[in-house]
Amino acid sequence: MTSFAPTTSPVIQGNQIPRKRLYGIMAEFHDPATLMAAADKVRLAGFRWWDCHTPFPVHGLDQAMGIKRTILPVLVFGAGLTGTTIGFCLQAFTNAASFSIWALVWVTGYPFLISGKPLISLPAFIPVMFELTILFSALSAVGIMFLFNGLPRWNHPLLASKRFLRATDDRFFIVIESRDPRFFASRTEQFLKDLGAKAVELVEV
């Protein structure tokens, strides 16, 4: 059909959703040394929305990328203290208290008198307090780690790339996301190639 209408860029109409959007650019490296040198340069170039993907943790890459130390241990310490406190309160209440509290249901403590020992016998309470400290710390360490990492997430755009399958095998990747203010598709692509990337691929959402 001949049309006299001026050529326009495609316009989104109605419920039509754009199928593809650029997520970022992925550069593939074959060894950790090149990757680390490249990561250093990406950081110096001022990018912020970018990441390295490696089959194993590469030592020194955190510094090369300028990753700040995580506050995870502080939070885990807090969780550990919570565990200790809960351990003490649980035992002191159930074995020494003669009043009721509401813990989902009304529960009443029972003062156990065992061979004339004091009701709150701290030395005997220590093993359970210790175990609960460890339990709370360990579960929170893992839980907070996955939470901060945004995992589980099963549908990441990178996981759709065939090339990226080897990120868990023997290849090393740098991905610069399109939302980075310094991102310009063509220029960033050239930049990554100059860093020694063996292959560069556009990643779409």
Site for other proteins in 14-53 (CB under 8 A): 28, 30-37, 51-53
Q: Is residue 171 at the binding interface for other proteins, with CB under 8 A as the rule? A: yes
Binding test (CB under 8 A) with other proteins, winner from 11, 116, 169, 186: 169
| Region near other proteins per CB under 8 A, out of 8-16, 18-26, 146-154, 184-192 | 146-154
CB of 30 or CB of 182, closer to other proteins: 30
CB of 33 or CB of 185, closer to other proteins: 33
Strand partners, 27: 174, 200
Residue 201 backbone dihedrals phi, psi, to 5 degrees? -140, 140
The dihedral through the CA atoms of 100, 101, 105, 109 has a sign that is negative
| Region near other proteins per CB under 8 A, out of 5-13, 16-24, 55-63, 177-185 | 55-63
As measured in angstroms, the least distance from the Cβ of 107 to other proteins is 4
Site for other proteins in 56-115 (CB under 8 A): 56-62, 65, 67, 70, 72-73, 76, 90-91, 94-95, 103-105, 107-110, 112, 114
| Site of tokens 């969780």 | 79
HSE toward the beta carbon, residue 79, CA cutoff 13 A: 18
- ω into 152 cis (within 30 of 0): yes
The dihedral through the CA atoms of 45, 50, 51, 52 has a sign that is negative
Give the whole-angstrom CA distance, residue 186 versus residue 176: 12
Give the whole-angstrom CA distance, residue 74 versus residue 92: 27
As measured in angstroms, the least distance from the Cβ of 193 to other proteins is 8
Q: Which of 22, 39, 24 is nearest to 197 (CA)?
A: 39
Q: Is residue 145 at the binding interface for other proteins, with CB under 8 A as the rule? A: yes
CB of 2 or CB of 73, closer to other proteins: 73
Q: Is residue 121 at the binding interface for other proteins, with CB under 8 A as the rule? A: yes
